[in-house]
Structures are given as C-alpha cells and as structure tokens.
Amino acid sequence: MTPLTPEVLRTRLPALVAARLPGSTLDRVSVMEDGHAGLTFGFSVRDAEGAGREFVVKLAPPGVRRSGNTDVYRQAPLLAALTRAGLPVTPVLFAAADEAELGTPYIVMPRLPGRTFVVWEPHAVFAGADVAALWRQTATALAGIHAFDRQAHLADWEAPRPLAGELGRWDRILRQAPEEEWIDLGARLGAALAASVPAEGPIGVVHGDYQPGNVLFDAGRLVAVLDWELASIGDQRIDLGWLSMMSDGQSWAADWQPVAPLAPAELVAIYEAARGKAAGDTRWFHAFANYRLASIGCLNVKLHRKGQRPDPLWDRFAGSIPTLFRRGLDLLGRRP
C-alpha cells in the first residue's frame, strides 16, 4: 500500500483539480501545520489568469476499515448540515466516498485564514493575544454547536451512543499501558466512573476533541471549529468535560501545562450562559475526559516505546498519564 505523502498527492491531484476546478492547475501541496487530525494536506491552485486559491484535503487512510475516525467521508454530510445552520465550520466543497479520484475517500474544503491555538505550545502569532478571550469564544461556540437540531437536520447521520457504552469502550485500551501503576490508577478511575454514571443529558452532535487546538482564530476572532474526525451523536457534556480537562492545570504534569487563564468552572459558566441552561454533572464528565485521554496515552506510549508507531511527543506526555488519572479520582471525591 503506497503511503499518502505530499509527493504522492502531487501525482494524483492534477486530475482532480482539472475535473473539479475547471481552468485551474495544481500549484503546491504540503502537510498542514498544527497537527490537524488524520491525513490532512493543504494544496493551492492557479487559474488561467494566475490567481491563486488554497484548499485543504482530508483523506481516509488507505487499506484501513472505514469506521469512525477512519471514515473521512462521513464528515461531509455533518459539515454540510452545520454549514447550512450557519455554524462556524469549514464548508465541504466536494467529496467522494470511493477511491476513483485519489485512491481513497476524501473531502476538500477551502483553506480559511488564521491559526489554531495549540494550548501546549501556542504559535508565535498569538504573542500578546488576549488568550482568555480565545477560550471564552471557544466555550461560547460550543454552546451554539450543541444547540443544533440534529433530529431536524441530521436525523439519519448516525445513531446516538449511550453514555454507559462510551465509558465501556476504554478499559481494553487502558490495559495496553506499559506500566502497571497506570493500569491500576486507570482501573480505579474507570470503576469510580462506572459506579456514578449520570442520567443521560442532552443528546446531539458531539465534536469529540473540542478544545482551542481544534479552533481556528484570525486576528483574535474565532473563524471555524476544525477536525471532526471523532464526531458522534451522544451526551453533549462529553465535549464540555473535554474542554474542562484541557484547561485544568491540575490534570497535567508540571512540565506539560496548558496555556489556559480560565479555570474549568469559568468555562462551564460561560457555556451555560450561552446555552441558557445548566449542564449538570460537569465534574463527572471532566473526570471521564481525563480517563479517556489518559487511556489513549497508555496505548500510544506503548506503541512509541515498542517502535511500532514512533513519536517522541508521547515521551513528553507520559508524565501526565498518572496525573490525569489521579485528578479524575479527585474530581469524583475518591482518594487518588
């Protein structure tokens, strides 16, 4: 199976550009910066007069079963519906569910101005920015997304996922941890979560990785929410818990602190004010976010250390895994 690289795409994109953008020719192809999810590339074209346009293409990994985050095309109807509702997402210009054009399913979107705010290492463009305002906009935009009427506009997209089922998915991943302490802490947090699962809350669109690193800002203004690979239909407080975790310095090791001037409680209050109602059970969802991300980290650290998927980032992240688990236990009132 040929890996998808900018060089490979340079051989495949010209025909797509000619068919989908008549009169244009391919100019440049590059990997997108700031760690966009999945196989995400930027490309530019020029028309007959030499005017340029820039696009983003997301591709499904070749040779992998298309399900969940590997089914890139499933984002097309979701983003189309959110675009029609006037929500801040990047519109899909064209897409394909088959392999005829690029050798794998894809979606193409315009490249919008701005940068994402990576909370661990913000880009230099954010020097001097009002970072608290970026977080406030992120929380407010989440309330708008959660107000989207999926039953009216996206009823057939995907069946809702029960909260108990979402929780049960992670034990197998946790058990991949290369350190017994992590498995023990994670199992204790998983059991505490299972013993206190709240009643289902508002069911609707869930982004799945909602945080400023997946939000595009231009000149201090929120432009679009990006990277919908993990989107689902479920209890929307999953997103609020994830946003809380990302801003919570107590969830992270001392050498892996987010740039987050607003505390989780402040973000919840901003979200609730914009949504017009209380969320409820926010500490449980915060703890659940810690459990999910730490479990993901357990697997990825193992894959990195064994050389199966080398990525030095996971060496840096490893120190926060026990911290995430312990903070989750503390949020639920259990002794870490």
Domain layout of the chain by residue ranges: 6-111, 116-331
Instruction: Supply the pLDDT for residue 35.
Output: 52
Cα–Cα distance measured from residue 211 to residue 109, given in angstroms and rounded to the nearest whole number:
21
CATH number for domain 116-331, candidates 3.20.20.80, 3.90.1200.10, 3.30.470.20, 3.40.630.30: 3.90.1200.10
Instruction: Supply the pLDDT for residue 153.
Output: 95
Instruction: Supply the pLDDT for residue 34.
Output: 66
Q: What is the tens place of the pLDDT at every residue in 308-317?
A: 988 898 999 9
Q: How confident is the model at residue 47 (pLDDT cuts 50, 70, 90)?
A: very high
Token pair in block for residue 263: 């505390």
Instruction: Supply the pLDDT for residue 63.
Output: 79
Q: How confident is the model at residue 37 (pLDDT cuts 50, 70, 90)?
A: low
Helices (H) and strands (E) in the chain, counts: 12, 10
**Inter-CA distances, 288 with 168, 193, 236, 257, 263, Å:** 11, 7, 13, 19, 17
Residues with Cβ within 8 Å of residue 324, at least 6 apart in sequence = 245, 251, 252, 290, 291, 293, 294, 297
At which residue do the structure tokens 């302490």 appear? 181
Q: How confident is the model at residue 62 (pLDDT cuts 50, 70, 90)?
A: confident
- CATH number 1.10.287.1260 is the correct assignment for the domain at 6-111: no
User: Is a pLDDT exceeding 80 seen at residue 69?
Assistant: no
Summary mean pLDDT of the chain: 94
Q: How confident is the model at residue 212 (pLDDT cuts 50, 70, 90)?
A: very high
Instruction: Supply the pLDDT for residue 142.
Output: 98
Q: What is the tens place of the pLDDT at every residue in 232-249?
A: 999 999 999 999 999 999
Q: How confident is the model at residue 4 (pLDDT cuts 50, 70, 90)?
A: confident
Over range 175-181, report the average pLDDT: 95
Q: What is the tens place of the pLDDT at every residue in 246-304?
A: 999 999 999 999 999 999 999 999 999 999 999 999 999 999 999 999 999 999 999 99
Query: Is residue 81 within 8 Å of 153, Cβ to Cβ?
Result: yes
Instruction: Supply the pLDDT for residue 5.
Output: 87
Q: How confident is the model at residue 335 (pLDDT cuts 50, 70, 90)?
A: confident
Give the residues across from 216 on adjacent strands: 116, 224
